[in-house]
Amino acid sequence: MEIIFDKLRKDNKEFNFTIKNNEINGIYCLDSLILMKIMHFNKPIDGKIKINKKEITNDDLNEIKKKTSIVENNFRKYYQTRVYELMYYMIIEKNIILKNPKKKILDSLKIVGLTSDYLDRQLCTLSSSETKQIQFAIALLSNPELIIMEDPFINYDLKTSKKIWMLIQRMKEQYNKTFIWISHDIENLFKYSTNLIIIKNNKILIEGKTNEIVQKIEYLIKNKIPIPPIIDFTYQAKKEKKIKLEYHNDVRDILKDIYKHV
């Protein structure tokens, strides 16, 4: 699902950007609340939204919302205590029409790498990575084309973050899902997104392929965008030592590059 936001206004702020189909679209934004409001596709539309190059109207929004899921970051507002209870409740709350709800729940768990044994698990007994897997499974119940995430890696250790990344990557590649990832975590956005939009002072500073934006470090520094340490190290080595290094997400790849060129 490709989405073009053209002069879309919300809370006296205007946005113009494109969500690329079947990409992990990272959005760097210090104030994510406004963007999350936009991504709920609530009426009325103030501006233009094009889905797969077709302009949509207010009457289309309910259909668009059916194709969209948001990965929530906690279970605290729900009274259900078991995985099955929560997932079944979410089917009812989201008004998802299913012939066989239990089969859909099992299929969603399977996609995120969990077995039927998890149905009777207490939510409070889940590990951090299992919790995130369940949150993704809930998002998949409506078979969405678009999945929206807000800071999916926040407060997770490296091991858990890698599991989450592998899950997102698998859903993108095997199930052709399009992702919007809104965050102020620039380091993980550089590391994991395939397409990147950087917003500053409520304006689009730059957007494009992440591996292309990473080549424009001086522009980002000039505009006071935080640079991840691993990217800054490569930039300084290229600038000060004239070493021909590529930008990498993994320090092991940098070491291989240094060994090859030094």
Q: At what angle do helices 83-93 and 128-139 cross, to 10 degrees?
A: 30
Q: What is the pLDDT of residue 140?
A: 92
Strand order in the sheet with 195-200: 68-71, 146-150, 178-183, 24-28, 195-200, 203-209
Q: Which of 179, 108, 194, 114 is nearest to 147 (CA)?
A: 179
Residue labelled with tokens 């109207």: 57
User: Residue 83 is which amino acid?
Assistant: V
* CB-based contact 51:64 (threshold 8 Å): yes
Q: What is the pLDDT of residue 91?
A: 92
Report how many helices (DSSP H) and strands (DSSP E) the chain contains, helices first.
Answer: 11, 10
Q: What is the pLDDT of residue 255?
A: 66
If the chain, 262 residues long, is cut into consecutive pieces of 10 residues, what is the mean pLDDT of each piece? 82 83 89 76 79 83 84 71 91 89 93 92 88 90 90 79 86 89 88 90 87 88 87 75 68 68 60
User: How far from each other are the two terminal CA atoms of the chain, in whole angstroms?
Assistant: 44
The architecture of the domain spanning 1-67+144-210 is 3-Layer(aba) Sandwich (3.40)
Q: Determine the Cα–Cα distance for residues 248 and 211; give it in Å rounded to an integer.
A: 9
User: Residue 244 is which amino acid?
Assistant: K
Strand order in the sheet with 13-19: 13-19, 3-10, 48-51, 54-55
Q: What is the pLDDT of residue 118?
A: 93
Q: What is the pLDDT of residue 3?
A: 86
* CB-based contact 123:83 (threshold 8 Å): yes
The pTM of this model reads: 0.84
Whole-Å CA distances, 44 to 9, 17, 61, 262 = 11, 19, 9, 58
Q: What is the pLDDT of residue 243?
A: 65
pLDDT tens digits, one per residue of 179-225: 999 988 888 898 889 999 998 887 889 999 998 888 888 899 999 98
pLDDT tens digits, one per residue of 214-245: 888 889 999 998 888 878 777 777 776 666 77
Q: Where in the chain is the domain with CATH 3.40.50.300?
A: 1-67+144-210
Q: What is the pLDDT of residue 242?
A: 67
Q: What is the pLDDT of residue 186?
A: 87
Residue 102 burial class via C-beta count within 10 angstroms: exposed 0-12, middle 13-18, buried 19 and up: middle
